[in-house]
Amino acid sequence: MKEIVVTGGLGFIGSNFIEAALEKGWRVINIDKKTYASNNIDFGKDPNYTLIVEDIAKIKTLPPCDLIINFAAETHVDNSITESISFVNTNIFGVHNLLNIILRQIQENLIHSWRYKVPVFLQISTDEVFGDIEEGFFNVNDPLKPSNPYSATKAAAEMLVMAWGRTYNIPYLITRTTNNYGPRQHTEKLIPRTISSILKGESVPVHGSGTHIRNWIHVKDNVDAIMTVIEKGEHGNIYHIASEEEYCVVEIVRKIAHAMGKEFDDIAEYTADRSGADVRYALNTDKIKELGWIPKRKFEEGIIDLIEYWKTNINSKH
């Protein structure tokens, strides 16, 4: 049985990952400080699941494990622009603290008492660390050029992981993924906000002209990719996770409106554009495809299922 520590496992992607890990029979210890973005989920009271309510920037020790997967992060770009210190605390200091705990336990020979080798540290990152690209795709070793406080903190976290890997020989993996969608995503994000707004009879805010392009991947495909990296990835490497579906904001809102029997012009409300907004994100995924992973879920099919999910969960905080 694989024993893993997941941080931020009550969040959108983390909770979907924990479900998949428990289905594999893995033992999961979830460290989550239960912020506004956390889901109220107990994973069916699975005996292989344990929750520790703690802040990764403040926790003092880590449980014995084979693998540490860091989903914990402040993620909403708009929030990072208006108030960035929480992003620095979690996304940078939190990662620094986790790495230093591993290092201290190595130096104090506590790893041997765990009955494990040094755990692999898997950092969950984002395509936003590169900034934007109008044509083509970013390769895994292209230079990072983040455009906003959120992506800057995620880029800094990657640098810490790589530095601790080289200096202290802590085994690591990094995944960068594009925009996820799926169940349990917070309504501050575009797709759940659009669906929930239409269900409530409210207008849907569209930043600027709504022409900024993003790559969209279902969270279940992302989880499958992360599992592939865990099982087949080479330590000390970075893997890009993306689908082949690119849409701008207007296209996303139009597709959802059409699926819900609405007209775009009747529900969309244009608002001021985000400061420093990136034009387009795009990742080259050749490396992870060499491990045998490909996305399986199509956007328009996933949206139909998601609309049904929100009809049931419209009154929840997510």
pLDDT at site 117: 72
- Tens of pLDDT along 244-293? 999 999 999 999 999 999 999 999 999 887 777 889 999 999 999 999 99
Asked if the structure places residue 77 within a domain, the reply is yes
Q: Where are the alpha helices (DSSP H) in the chain?
A: 12-23, 77-82, 85-87, 95-107, 110-114, 149-168, 190-199, 219-232, 249-259, 264-267, 286-289, 299-313
pLDDT at site 46: 95
CATH number of the domain enclosing 266: 3.40.50.720
Asked if the structure places residue 252 within a domain, the reply is yes
Closest of 50, 20, 22, 25 to residue 228, by C-alpha: 20
Asked if the structure places residue 318 within a domain, the reply is no
CA separation for the pair 241, 226 (Å, rounded): 8
pLDDT at site 106: 82
pLDDT at site 81: 87
Low-confidence residues in the chain, pLDDT < 50: none
Closest of 163, 270, 145, 162 to residue 206, by C-alpha: 270
Q: Which residues are catalytic?
A: 127-128, 150
- Tens of pLDDT along 104-141? 988 876 555 555 578 999 999 999 999 999 999 999 99
State the sign of the Cα–Cα–Cα–Cα dihedral 167, 168, 171, 176: negative
pLDDT at site 112: 52
Q: From residue 195, how far is each of 29, 149, 183, 186, 192 by CA, in Å?
A: 33, 27, 12, 12, 5
CA separation for the pair 3, 174 (Å, rounded): 19
Asked if the structure places residue 107 within a domain, the reply is yes
Asked if the structure places residue 225 within a domain, the reply is yes
pLDDT at site 110: 58
Q: Share the mean pLDDT of the chain.
A: 92
Q: From residue 170, how far is each of 66, 153, 184, 227 by CA, in Å?
A: 12, 21, 32, 20
Describe the chain by its helix, strand, coil percentages, rounded to 5. 40, 20, 40
Instruction: Evaluate whether 220 touches 16 at the Cβ level (below 8 Å).
Output: yes
CA 20 to chain centre: 15
pLDDT at site 118: 85
At residue 142, the 3 state secondary structure works out as coil
Instruction: Evaluate whether 102 touches 119 at the Cβ level (below 8 Å).
Output: yes
At residue 279, the 3 state secondary structure works out as coil
Tally of domains in the chain: 1
Domain that includes residue 145, residue range = 3-313
At residue 132, the 3 state secondary structure works out as coil
